[in-house]
Amino acid sequence: MNMIAQKKYAPATDRNREPILAVLKDCIPDHGTILELASGSGQHAIYFVDQMPGHYWQPSDPDEESRNSISAWWWEVQLNNILPPLNINAQDDIWDIENVEIPQPVTSIVCINMVHISPWESTVGLIKGASRILPKDGILYLYGPYKVDGKHTAPSNELFDIKLRSQNPEWGIRELNDVIKLAHENDLSLVKTVDMPANNLSIIFKGN
């Protein structure tokens, strides 16, 4: 396999990785495996795990090209604490990580920029899966744009929402209160939200 040819590059990752890392270091348990849903290119996985050497990072993506990209990024750095990417679709009733051996139990789940670029059923599956997998006080971290009390937080987000829905009517920026309600229904408590650059939010939930 030509690893260089397999690599994808997402410019937004370079812009948001440092602010996201700062929040993760503040909220993630100091041990265990971090499961990332919808890892995409794999750039976040490589950057975060290098900065958090006390953890294992388990990337995943339902898209084969993305999994190949994750493997290509790993090949470039060959860090020992990043695990081979799994084929996980958030909507599935059982995720692959529930059937494989990992060095340490999952204590955190990270999902960046998936909720608005997927059907609502994916968010439902994500929340249900997190409730099923996370231990008490385990952390679910979400990042992306959200509407707050029915309103977009910036005109640029409203335009982005229109663009997303034109690409796929099942996509779109979600109402934060709907996500919080769904989490509460699945025994996850909201810890806090953090304002992020470019009108995004970090949302942190905890297992009960």
For the chain, the C-alpha Rg in angstroms (whole number) is: 16
pLDDT on residue 204? 98
Helix, coil or strand: residue 193: strand
**Res 15 pLDDT > 90:** no
Q: Which domain holds residue 30?
A: 3-207
C-alpha–C-alpha distance, residues 18 and 13, integer Å? 9
What is the count of structural domains for the chain? Answer: 1
CATH number at residue 186: 3.40.50.150
State residue 80's pLDDT score: 84
Average confidence score pLDDT of the chain? 93
C-alpha to C-alpha distance for 59 and 57, rounded to whole angstroms: 6
Tokens of 186: 């699945």
Tens digit of each residue's pLDDT (9 = 90 or more) over 43-82: 888 899 888 888 999 999 999 999 999 998 888 787 888 9
Q: 13 pLDDT exceeds 80?
A: no
pLDDT band at 14; cut points 50, 70, 90: confident
pLDDT beyond 60 at 208:
yes
99-102 LR contacts (CB < 8 Å, sep 24+):
102/33, 102/56, 102/58
- Closest by alpha carbon to 173, among 145, 203, 195? 145
**Which of 102, 114, 39 shows the shortest CA–CA distance to 71?**
39
